[in-house]
Amino acid sequence: MSPSIIEFENVVAGYSPSLTILNETTLDARRGEITLLIGPNGAGKSTVLKTLFGLLLPRLGEIRFEGQRINGKPPRELLAEGIAFVPQGRNLFGSLSVRHNLELGGITLPRAELRGRIDEVLQRFPRINERIDNQASTISGGEQKQLEIGRALLLRPRVLLIDEPSIGLSPKLVEQIMTMLRTLADEGTTVLMVEQNVRTALRYSNRALVLEMGRLALDRPASEILQDPDLNRLFLGGHARTSAAG
């Protein structure tokens, strides 16, 4: 079994002192795996990612990255240590060029190094390379999401947190993004992903964690959930289907 890179141990967090969203949440994500976080709307999936990335301070419990406690560290520090976050929705500077958006992602790198890193990212995303001088707001939704992921990869993160990357994308583009995330994971990156497009995402994931009311309700290999009609019905709200049905 791959080692746990990210660990939540009895984490309690919320947006105000009176409102607890993560309720003694315990979970982990392992090296070189895609861990898929699923569950009903409002279960706290995005809150897990935000708390992990230092956008929300846990009230209790411990968050560990490669065994070290990271509670209370700000996002820029976590980014420098190797955790990247691609939030839900559109997070680009629309009026700036694709290249400029990439450069901003690597603003902390020495200039000479940045150039090489951008070339490295562009090799991974040929479509972005073709659009490099375009204004970011004018490229397609799929290209924008690829650009966001590319920007996050500039710092060569060891952990990628990604929240609902498939929103608004065609099935074909979703497969492309998932394939790219799978490649990243196979190269050793630890991916923790929230996705509503559960059946498709499960096919690319190693494990699925089901979150309900801020607690871990299920932790299973992704293939097991896809194949087990009971789990499928309980957690995906439908009947078992062949994986090809997506």
Ligand X SMILES: Nc1ncnc2c1ncn2[C@@H]1O[C@H](COP(=O)(O)OP(=O)(O)O)[C@@H](O)[C@H]1O
Q: Which residues bind ligand X (CB under 6 A)?
A: 15, 21, 39, 41-47
**CB environment 196-209: b (16+ within 10 A), e (fewer):** ebbbbbbbbbbbbb
Judged by beta carbon distances under 5 to 8 A according to partner kind, the member of Mg ion, ligand X, none in contact with residue 94 is none
DSSP 19: B
Judged by beta carbon distances under 5 to 8 A according to partner kind, the member of ligand X, Mg ion, none in contact with residue 93 is none
Toward Mg ion, which CB reaches closer, 46 or 176?
Answer: 46
In DSSP terms, 208 is beta-bridged to: 36, 220
DSSP string for 165-194? TTTT--HHHHHHHHHHHHHHHHTT-EEEEE
Toward ligand X, which CB reaches closer, 122 or 209?
Answer: 209
Judged by beta carbon distances under 5 to 8 A according to partner kind, the member of Mg ion, ligand X, none in contact with residue 15 is ligand X
* Residue 46 in the binding site for Mg ion (CB under 5 A): yes
Least distance from Mg ion to the Cβ atom of residue 195, Å: 10
Judged by beta carbon distances under 5 to 8 A according to partner kind, the member of ligand X, Mg ion, none in contact with residue 142 is none
d(CA 180, CA 173): 11
Toward ligand X, which CB reaches closer, 32 or 87?
Answer: 87
Least distance from Mg ion to the Cβ atom of residue 85, Å: 13
d(CA 150, CA 145): 8
Residue type, 75: P
Toward Mg ion, which CB reaches closer, 82 or 87?
Answer: 87
Crossing angle for the helix pair 141-153 and 171-186, nearest 10 degrees? 10
Cβ atoms of residues 31 and 3 within 8 Å = yes
d(CA 7, CA 29): 7
Toward ligand X, which CB reaches closer, 19 or 244?
Answer: 19
* Residue 197 in the binding site for Mg ion (CB under 5 A): no
Judged by beta carbon distances under 5 to 8 A according to partner kind, the member of ligand X, Mg ion, none in contact with residue 21 is ligand X
Least distance from ligand X to the Cβ atom of residue 19, Å: 7
State the residues that interact with Mg ion by CB under 5 A: 45-46
